[in-house]
Amino acid sequence: MLRKIPTTAVPLSIFEILKGFKSFFGNKSYIEEFEQNFAKYMGAGHAFSFNKCTTSIYIFLKALKKFSNRKEVVIPAYTVPTLVLPIRKAGLIPILCESSLETLTMDFNRLPDVVNDNTLCVLPIYHFGFPYEIDSLLRLAKEKGFFVLEDTAQAPGAMIDDKKVGTLGDAGCFSLCRGKNFSTFNGGMLTTNSDKLAKIIGEERDLLPEQEFSFKIKIPFILTAYSLVTRPVIYGPFYKLIAPFKHTTVHDGFEPKQYSDFQAIIGSGLLKRLDGFNEIRLRKGMVLYDALTDNEHIILPQIAKNSTPVFNHFPVVFKETRTMEKVQAELWERGIDTGRMYLKPVHHLYDLGYDKQKELFPNALYIAERLLTLPSHPYLDDNSIEKIIGVFKSL
């Protein structure tokens, strides 16, 4: 079959990309305009842009060091492994908290085991675009005196109790990299309501180098290629050429930089369409959720009460890896690509000083070994949704 549904996609038109060329003329700061638009969309006091979400985390942690000498930063044991890098770059220590099989993110009930007088910050992460209530975490933060950075990389626009996640803690970070609900190929945002933190973050951001000239020249072409290759009619026939760019390796560093004006123009345009994209993702995600929820072979994450998920991906945890492999192969045959996300928990990829003889985070390992993500983006058509449901029904 030629046509194939990719694992992730953002419908970005060539016309939208052409608008970016405005940035090559005049002195207007499109970055500043995008930051204002983003802050307004999120309902946050301040928003700052960066070349990556990773950079935004690094700058936030650096800013916190002006307020506290504490050294530990807590993340879930199953998450994007490169979160270790900004923590270490800021001279801090990553600490893992066990993951929950019910939410596929940090198990907040296990947090009291890992926070102490040296905890500087905790990062709740809304994996796959599922928002969760963080009141108990915010209460614990107040009691123990640590900061909360909501990692909303995968959940921009997701709501809980009518509030956007990413604005509930001290700050929120967002990624605009490939595979997110709205993407400018790369990029990251940081929002905060704290004027004190914003002042330091702004100063630190202004000290970062700008994107290189060669990047500014290349980005229109990169975005055009990105817009084209994620379309099912191109993704299928050219899969062999695209596949090497799909898999990300485990990095050992990153270069903090500013965002670019070209991307900021695209970002402002996509931001206006984000609610529309999220509505489509929610609709398609819920059709899949309702159809798969009682399947005895799998576990789906809980949808929190009064929440609006934005289905960055549709995550399925299989009780047996054999079943996962079978489903992956059958969906591929039917023209639907799937993803495996993080194949190992964080402490299996980076040496964080945890005992290697004993598995300290069995839930994180369970998720890493058995998780398959299904597409839930706007290019997923109803016919493909039916095919997905059919494959699961036949198990």
Which residue has tokens 């609610």? 275
Angstrom distance (rounded) from CA 197 to CA 139: 20
Q: Which residues bind ligand PLP (CB under 6 A)?
A: 52-54, 80, 83, 125, 151, 153-154, 175, 177, 188
Rounded least distance, CB 311 to ligand PLP, Å = 14
DSSP character for 254?
A: -
- Nearer to ligand PLP among residue 124 and residue 391 (C-beta): 124
Name the minimum Å distance from CB 58 to ligand PLP: 10
Least distance in Å: CB of 50 to ligand PLP? 8
Sorted by sequence, the CB contacts under 8 Å of residue 367 that are 6+ apart come out as 78, 99, 101, 104, 317, 345
Instruction: Provide the minimum distance between the beta carbon of 15 and ligand PLP in the complex, in angstroms, as a whole number.
Output: 25
Write down the residue that tokens 């709501």 correspond to. Answer: 159
Which CB atom, from 151 or from 385, has the smaller least distance to ligand PLP? 151
Query: Per the structure block, which two tokens stand in for 282?
Result: 């929610």
Nearer Cβ to ligand PLP (154/323): 154
Cα separation, 286 vs 215, in Å, equals: 39
**Least CB distance from residue 244 to ligand PLP, whole Å?**
18
User: Are 94 and 73 a contacting pair, CB within 8 Å?
Assistant: yes
Residues 6+ apart with CB under 8 A from 213: none
Give the residue with the Cβ less far from ligand PLP, 54 or 376: 54
Strand partners, 317: 299, 371
Distance, in Å, from the CA atom of 274 to the CA atom of 39, rounded to the nearest integer, reads 14
Nearer to ligand PLP, 225 or 291 (CB): 225
